[in-house]
Structure 1
Protein backbone atom coordinates (compact mmCIF):
# COMPACT_ATOMS: atom_id res chain seq x y z
CA UNK A 1 0.00 0.00 0.00
CA UNK A 2 1.41 3.42 -0.86
CA UNK A 3 2.41 5.79 1.87
CA UNK A 4 0.04 8.73 1.47
CA UNK A 5 1.66 10.63 4.30
CA UNK A 6 4.87 11.10 2.34
CA UNK A 7 5.01 13.96 -0.13
CA UNK A 8 7.58 14.55 -2.88
CA UNK A 9 9.14 17.17 -0.60
CA UNK A 10 9.78 14.58 2.12
CA UNK A 11 11.90 12.34 -0.07
CA UNK A 12 15.57 13.30 -0.20
CA UNK A 13 16.97 14.16 -3.58
CA UNK A 14 20.26 12.39 -3.99
CA UNK A 15 22.50 13.80 -6.68
CA UNK A 16 26.04 12.62 -6.35
CA UNK A 17 28.60 13.10 -9.02
CA UNK A 18 30.59 9.96 -9.65
CA UNK A 19 34.18 10.24 -8.48
CA UNK A 20 36.67 10.74 -11.26
CA UNK A 21 38.45 7.54 -12.06
CA UNK A 22 42.16 7.31 -11.35
CA UNK A 23 42.67 6.71 -15.09
CA UNK A 24 41.94 10.40 -15.75
CA UNK A 25 44.62 11.63 -13.35
CA UNK A 26 47.96 11.77 -15.17
CA UNK A 27 50.98 10.13 -13.56
CA UNK A 28 52.96 13.39 -13.67
CA UNK A 29 50.15 15.30 -11.94
CA UNK A 30 51.36 14.41 -8.46
CA UNK A 31 49.89 17.06 -6.20
CA UNK A 32 52.19 19.50 -4.46
CA UNK A 33 51.14 18.61 -0.93
CA UNK A 34 51.44 21.45 1.58
CA UNK A 35 54.44 21.27 3.86
CA UNK A 36 52.53 22.42 6.95
CA UNK A 37 49.00 22.61 8.24
CA UNK A 38 49.22 26.39 8.03
CA UNK A 39 49.91 26.19 4.29
CA UNK A 40 46.90 23.89 3.82
CA UNK A 41 44.69 26.30 5.78
CA UNK A 42 45.90 29.26 3.71
CA UNK A 43 45.04 27.34 0.55
CA UNK A 44 41.56 26.72 1.96
CA UNK A 45 41.14 30.39 2.93
CA UNK A 46 42.00 31.37 -0.64
CA UNK A 47 39.36 28.92 -1.93
CA UNK A 48 41.86 26.56 -3.56
CA UNK A 49 42.13 22.80 -3.16
CA UNK A 50 44.19 22.28 0.03
CA UNK A 51 45.80 19.17 -1.43
CA UNK A 52 47.04 20.34 -4.84
CA UNK A 53 46.41 24.13 -4.87
CA UNK A 54 45.45 23.88 -8.57
CA UNK A 55 41.65 23.75 -8.62
CA UNK A 56 38.90 25.72 -6.94
CA UNK A 57 37.49 24.32 -3.69
CA UNK A 58 33.97 25.76 -4.11
CA UNK A 59 31.47 25.43 -6.95
CA UNK A 60 29.15 28.03 -5.43
CA UNK A 61 29.56 30.43 -2.55
CA UNK A 62 29.52 27.78 0.19
CA UNK A 63 29.19 24.54 -1.81
CA UNK A 64 32.48 22.65 -2.01
CA UNK A 65 33.27 20.58 -5.08
CA UNK A 66 32.57 16.87 -4.76
CA UNK A 67 35.95 15.89 -6.18
CA UNK A 68 38.96 17.97 -7.15
CA UNK A 69 39.29 17.90 -10.95
CA UNK A 70 43.08 18.03 -10.71
CA UNK A 71 44.05 15.63 -7.92
CA UNK A 72 40.74 13.68 -7.61
CA UNK A 73 40.50 14.32 -3.83
CA UNK A 74 37.04 13.45 -2.51
CA UNK A 75 35.68 16.50 -0.62
CA UNK A 76 32.25 15.00 0.13
CA UNK A 77 33.55 13.77 3.50
CA UNK A 78 34.00 17.25 4.93
CA UNK A 79 31.76 18.16 7.83
CA UNK A 80 32.20 21.88 8.39
CA UNK A 81 28.54 22.22 9.48
CA UNK A 82 27.96 25.42 11.52
CA UNK A 83 31.55 26.04 12.53
CA UNK A 84 32.28 28.52 9.67
CA UNK A 85 29.36 30.66 10.85
CA UNK A 86 30.72 30.65 14.40
CA UNK A 87 34.17 31.64 13.17
CA UNK A 88 32.65 34.39 11.02
CA UNK A 89 30.66 35.79 13.93
CA UNK A 90 33.68 35.57 16.23
CA UNK A 91 35.93 37.47 13.81
CA UNK A 92 33.26 40.05 13.02
CA UNK A 93 32.65 40.70 16.70
CA UNK A 94 36.34 41.19 17.42
CA UNK A 95 36.72 43.59 14.49
CA UNK A 96 33.50 45.50 15.12
CA UNK A 97 33.84 45.94 18.90
CA UNK A 98 36.50 48.67 18.69
CA UNK A 99 34.72 50.25 15.72
CA UNK A 100 31.45 50.46 17.64
CA UNK A 101 33.18 51.80 20.76
CA UNK A 102 34.98 54.46 18.71
CA UNK A 103 31.80 55.46 16.86
CA UNK A 104 29.81 55.81 20.06
CA UNK A 105 32.49 57.64 22.06
CA UNK A 106 34.04 59.86 19.39
CA UNK A 107 30.97 60.94 17.41
CA UNK A 108 27.71 62.52 18.38
CA UNK A 109 25.68 60.53 15.87
CA UNK A 110 22.08 59.68 16.74
CA UNK A 111 21.15 56.05 17.28
CA UNK A 112 19.51 55.55 13.84
CA UNK A 113 22.65 56.86 12.12
CA UNK A 114 24.85 54.55 14.20
CA UNK A 115 22.61 51.60 13.32
CA UNK A 116 22.73 52.58 9.65
CA UNK A 117 26.52 52.36 9.78
CA UNK A 118 27.03 49.38 12.09
CA UNK A 119 24.44 46.86 10.88
CA UNK A 120 25.41 46.84 7.16
CA UNK A 121 29.09 46.75 8.07
CA UNK A 122 28.53 43.77 10.37
CA UNK A 123 26.51 41.89 7.77
CA UNK A 124 29.11 42.54 5.08
CA UNK A 125 31.94 41.31 7.31
CA UNK A 126 30.07 38.16 8.35
CA UNK A 127 29.28 37.27 4.74
CA UNK A 128 32.83 38.06 3.64
CA UNK A 129 34.30 35.75 6.30
CA UNK A 130 32.01 32.75 5.62
CA UNK A 131 33.69 31.22 2.57
CA UNK A 132 37.28 31.67 3.77
CA UNK A 133 36.31 30.21 7.16
CA UNK A 134 34.69 27.19 5.51
CA UNK A 135 37.70 26.67 3.26
CA UNK A 136 40.05 26.84 6.25
CA UNK A 137 37.96 24.36 8.23
CA UNK A 138 37.77 21.90 5.31
CA UNK A 139 41.54 22.20 4.85
CA UNK A 140 42.15 21.64 8.56
CA UNK A 141 39.93 18.56 8.56
CA UNK A 142 41.85 17.18 5.58
CA UNK A 143 45.26 17.97 7.11
CA UNK A 144 44.38 16.32 10.43
CA UNK A 145 42.78 13.28 8.75
CA UNK A 146 39.37 13.90 10.31
CA UNK A 147 36.02 12.45 9.09
CA UNK A 148 37.54 9.74 6.92
CA UNK A 149 40.13 11.86 5.14
CA UNK A 150 43.46 10.14 4.66
CA UNK A 151 46.24 11.97 6.48
CA UNK A 152 48.79 12.85 3.81
CA UNK A 153 52.15 14.50 4.25
CA UNK A 154 54.72 15.45 1.62
CA UNK A 155 57.63 13.09 1.13
CA UNK A 156 60.49 13.98 3.42
CA UNK A 157 63.57 14.84 1.41
CA UNK A 158 66.96 14.22 2.88
CA UNK A 159 69.38 17.10 2.98
CA UNK A 160 71.66 15.52 0.35
CA UNK A 161 73.61 13.64 3.01
CA UNK A 162 73.03 10.32 1.28
CA UNK A 163 72.30 8.68 4.62
Structure 2
Protein backbone atom coordinates (compact mmCIF):
# COMPACT_ATOMS: atom_id res chain seq x y z
CA UNK A 1 0.00 0.00 0.00
CA UNK A 2 1.40 3.36 -0.98
CA UNK A 3 1.18 6.55 1.02
CA UNK A 4 -0.65 9.64 -0.17
CA UNK A 5 1.48 12.39 -1.69
CA UNK A 6 0.29 15.05 0.78
CA UNK A 7 1.34 13.16 3.89
CA UNK A 8 -1.96 11.41 4.51
CA UNK A 9 -3.66 14.43 6.04
CA UNK A 10 -7.43 14.35 6.13
CA UNK A 11 -9.10 16.60 3.64
CA UNK A 12 -11.59 19.20 4.92
CA UNK A 13 -14.73 17.26 5.81
CA UNK A 14 -17.35 20.01 6.05
CA UNK A 15 -16.81 21.49 2.55
CA UNK A 16 -16.72 17.97 1.12
CA UNK A 17 -20.02 17.14 2.84
CA UNK A 18 -21.67 20.29 1.45
CA UNK A 19 -20.41 19.39 -2.02
CA UNK A 20 -21.74 15.85 -1.58
CA UNK A 21 -25.12 17.20 -0.45
CA UNK A 22 -25.26 19.20 -3.69
CA UNK A 23 -24.31 15.97 -5.54
CA UNK A 24 -21.04 17.49 -6.75
CA UNK A 25 -17.51 16.11 -6.73
CA UNK A 26 -16.08 16.32 -3.19
CA UNK A 27 -12.70 17.42 -4.59
CA UNK A 28 -13.56 20.30 -6.95
CA UNK A 29 -17.23 20.96 -6.21
CA UNK A 30 -17.94 21.51 -9.91
CA UNK A 31 -18.31 18.12 -11.56
CA UNK A 32 -21.40 15.99 -11.03
CA UNK A 33 -20.94 13.18 -8.50
CA UNK A 34 -23.77 11.00 -9.77
CA UNK A 35 -24.34 9.79 -13.32
CA UNK A 36 -27.91 8.72 -12.60
CA UNK A 37 -30.24 8.86 -9.64
CA UNK A 38 -27.86 6.92 -7.36
CA UNK A 39 -24.96 5.75 -9.59
CA UNK A 40 -21.66 7.34 -8.59
CA UNK A 41 -19.35 8.24 -11.49
CA UNK A 42 -16.05 6.41 -11.76
CA UNK A 43 -14.15 9.72 -12.08
CA UNK A 44 -15.07 13.39 -11.88
CA UNK A 45 -15.77 14.87 -15.32
CA UNK A 46 -14.02 18.14 -14.34
CA UNK A 47 -10.99 17.30 -12.16
CA UNK A 48 -10.56 13.56 -12.96
CA UNK A 49 -10.67 12.65 -9.25
CA UNK A 50 -11.30 8.89 -9.00
CA UNK A 51 -14.61 8.26 -7.26
CA UNK A 52 -14.99 4.52 -7.85
CA UNK A 53 -13.51 3.70 -4.42
CA UNK A 54 -16.70 4.59 -2.55
CA UNK A 55 -18.48 2.03 -0.39
CA UNK A 56 -21.74 3.80 0.45
CA UNK A 57 -23.70 0.50 0.38
CA UNK A 58 -26.82 0.76 2.60
CA UNK A 59 -25.74 3.79 4.64
CA UNK A 60 -27.76 6.38 2.68
CA UNK A 61 -30.88 4.22 2.85
CA UNK A 62 -30.54 3.76 6.62
CA UNK A 63 -30.04 7.50 7.13
CA UNK A 64 -33.01 8.30 4.91
CA UNK A 65 -35.25 5.96 6.90
CA UNK A 66 -33.94 7.45 10.15
CA UNK A 67 -34.60 11.07 9.10
CA UNK A 68 -37.96 10.46 7.44
CA UNK A 69 -39.20 8.30 10.30
CA UNK A 70 -38.15 10.72 13.01
CA UNK A 71 -39.69 13.64 11.15
CA UNK A 72 -42.94 12.09 9.97
CA UNK A 73 -43.94 10.05 13.04
CA UNK A 74 -44.45 13.07 15.31
CA UNK A 75 -46.12 14.99 12.48
CA UNK A 76 -48.63 12.18 11.98
CA UNK A 77 -49.42 12.19 15.69
CA UNK A 78 -49.81 15.97 15.79
CA UNK A 79 -52.01 16.01 12.67
CA UNK A 80 -54.21 13.21 14.02
CA UNK A 81 -54.66 14.68 17.49
CA UNK A 82 -55.16 18.30 16.40
CA UNK A 83 -57.19 17.95 13.17
CA UNK A 84 -58.76 14.44 13.42
CA UNK A 85 -58.78 13.75 9.65
CA UNK A 86 -60.24 10.60 8.19
CA UNK A 87 -57.69 7.76 8.41
CA UNK A 88 -57.54 7.32 4.61
CA UNK A 89 -56.84 11.04 4.16
CA UNK A 90 -54.12 10.97 6.82
CA UNK A 91 -52.56 7.84 5.32
CA UNK A 92 -52.64 9.23 1.79
CA UNK A 93 -51.11 12.59 2.69
CA UNK A 94 -48.33 11.14 4.81
CA UNK A 95 -47.59 8.32 2.36
CA UNK A 96 -47.03 10.85 -0.41
CA UNK A 97 -44.99 13.00 1.98
CA UNK A 98 -42.80 10.11 3.09
CA UNK A 99 -42.13 8.96 -0.46
CA UNK A 100 -41.35 12.49 -1.69
CA UNK A 101 -39.01 13.22 1.23
CA UNK A 102 -37.27 9.86 0.81
CA UNK A 103 -36.72 10.43 -2.91
CA UNK A 104 -35.33 13.89 -2.18
CA UNK A 105 -32.97 12.81 0.61
CA UNK A 106 -31.57 9.53 -0.76
CA UNK A 107 -29.19 10.87 -3.48
CA UNK A 108 -28.12 13.77 -1.29
CA UNK A 109 -27.27 11.51 1.64
CA UNK A 110 -25.38 9.20 -0.73
CA UNK A 111 -23.35 12.21 -1.84
CA UNK A 112 -22.61 13.07 1.79
CA UNK A 113 -21.48 9.49 2.58
CA UNK A 114 -19.19 9.37 -0.48
CA UNK A 115 -17.79 12.81 0.41
CA UNK A 116 -17.02 11.74 3.98
CA UNK A 117 -15.23 8.65 2.69
CA UNK A 118 -13.26 10.83 0.26
CA UNK A 119 -12.34 13.37 2.98
CA UNK A 120 -11.26 10.68 5.45
CA UNK A 121 -9.36 8.75 2.73
CA UNK A 122 -11.38 5.62 3.34
CA UNK A 123 -11.57 2.60 1.01
CA UNK A 124 -8.69 3.58 -1.30
CA UNK A 125 -9.47 7.29 -1.73
CA UNK A 126 -6.09 8.18 -0.23
CA UNK A 127 -3.89 5.86 -2.25
CA UNK A 128 -1.35 7.36 -4.59
CA UNK A 129 -2.27 6.50 -8.19
CA UNK A 130 1.05 7.51 -9.73
TM-score, normalised to structure 1's length?
0.69
Match of 1:137 among 113, 121, 127: 113
Query: In structure 1, the residue corresponding to 2:30 is in which secondary structure?
Result: coil
Larger RCO: 1 or 2 (CA < 8 Å, sep 6+): 2
Structure 2: distance between partners of 1:107 and 1:84: 33
Instruction: In structure 1, list runs of 5 or more residues that go unmatched.
Output: 1-34, 152-163
Match of 1:72 in 2: 48
Give the C-alpha shift of residue 38 in structure 1.
Answer: 0.9
Match of 2:126 in 1: 150
Give the C-alpha shift of residue 74 in structure 1.
Answer: 1.0
| Structure 2 residue 124 is the aligned partner of structure 1 residue 124 | no
Query: In structure 2, the residue corresponding to 1:59 is in which secondary structure?
Result: coil
Q: Within 5 A, what are the aligned runs for 1:15-34?
A: none
| Structure 2 residue 34 is the aligned partner of structure 1 residue 63 | no
Match of 2:64 among 85, 88, 100: 88
Q: What RMSD over aligned residues (CA atoms) do the two structures have, in Å?
A: 1.3
Match of 2:5 in 1: none
Q: Which has the larger radius of gyration?
A: 1
Instruction: In structure 2, list runs of 5 or more residues that go unmatched.
Output: 1-10
Choose 98-107 or 128-137, whichever is displaced more. 98-107
Runs (4+) of structure 1 moved beyond 3 Å?
none
Structure 1: distance between partners of 2:71 and 2:51: 31
Task: Count residues with an aligned counterpart.
Answer: 117
Per-residue CA deviations over 1:19-53 (Å, capped at 9, x if unaligned) read xxxxxxxxxxxxxxxx7311100100001100011
